[in-house]
A and B are shown apart, each in its own frame.
Chain A
Amino acid sequence: MPSPVVVEVPPRPEHAHVLRSVVASVAARLDLPLDSIEDLKIAVDEVVTHLMTTGGTVLRMEVLAEPTGIQVTTSTDAPEAPWPPEGFEASLTWQVLTGLTDDASFAVDGGPILRFTKRAHVHG
């Protein structure tokens, strides 16, 4: 079982680029095409911007690289946040996430969680 890359940053917009860079770097190592890497970066931006509105003191991102693809799990420690917010599935965040990634889901575990996967497609 490969161990994930874990990054924690304060939930503020100026730290989004750190998370973007980490995901891009892991994706590059998996040899994902640039198209997918750009999609992932946009997805990270979207998710992170959304999670920042939930409050909490820490924004955590776990990136799991597997031969089949990359799985990104983002969360905050805001246990009080109503999650998912009402109408979340009609929100821009959800539309963008489901549009750009192969699989997206949300959950709660001591705070809101958003997870998405981008598969590594076989070149050809």
Chain B
Amino acid sequence: MADADREIELFKRRGQDPAVRDELVEQFRALAEYLARRFQGRGEPVEDLTQVAMIGLLKAIDRFDLAREVKFSTYATATIVGELKRHFRDKGWSVRVPRRLQETGLKVSKAMSEVSQEVGRSPTVSEIASHTGLSEEEVLEGMETVHAYSASSLDAPIDEEGRSSHEIMGSEDETIEMLEAWTTVAPAIQALPERERRILYLRFFRGLTQTQIADEIGISQMHVSRLLARTLRRLREEVRADEPVD
């Protein structure tokens, strides 16, 4: 029997026989794992992401309608990606940002790198305001937006950011130093993506400012700020999860 026919056969029997469902899961497991890896490096361990992707796969298997003129892999990809995005959104990392705010955010973000180049240090809100013609309130609003904005960029696979250059990798010693000092969150630190761990190290153990870290790693200061806030949020969740309930 051809693969496609076999697949249709399996879908027809999925409701009656749990073994059939398992077989479908096995057949498409690689797809779920692949999609999970595309969302790696955003502050969530890949094992968690794989689990979320597997839930998406199960939903896709249960809901797939054979009458649809679409291949299951296409349908499953959409369902799994949807599940992964929802996962990030539920973590509070994704917010739909209105267009006006997006534009303000972009303007502020651009002005921040221009002004900091100009003055050779982290700029102030009033400097950004006069550079952009926005009010100080709008600049502050824009800064918040840049944080929330990371949500939209979830659509882009992380690998394309070209992030694994040598500079962003911390040394073994750095990790050990952190684990020793921050024992309460050691497992979570170990699970962090390299870049996030390095940012944490440079900020808390080397005392570099966000702007200096941005220079060192080659990303914008806002990006550093965003990653730092997200990383700490993740560590915090880890601590809370370990706390005894009284």
Contact = CB atoms under 8 A, between A and B. Distances in A.
B240 interface: yes
A21 B140 contact: yes
Interface string B195-222: 0000000011000011100000000010
Contacts of A35: 122, 209-211, 221
Interface stretch (B6-14, B54-62, B99-107, B228-236): B228-236
Interface string A4-47: 00000000000001000100110011011111111101100110
Nearest to A20: B144
B51 interface: no
A92 B209 contact: no
Contact of B182 (A42, A45, A92): A92
Given A24-B143, A123-B121, A45 B232 contact: yes
Given A46-B236, A53-B240, A90 B211 contact: no
A91 B209 CA distance: 22
Interface string A91-124: 1100110011000000000000000000000011
Contacts, number: 83
Nearest to B112: A34
Question: Helix, strand, loop or mixed for chain B's interface?
Answer: helix
Interface residues on A, range: 20 to 34
Interface of A: 17, 21, 24-25, 28-29, 31-39, 41-42, 45-46, 49, 53, 87, 90-92, 95-96, 99-100, 123-124
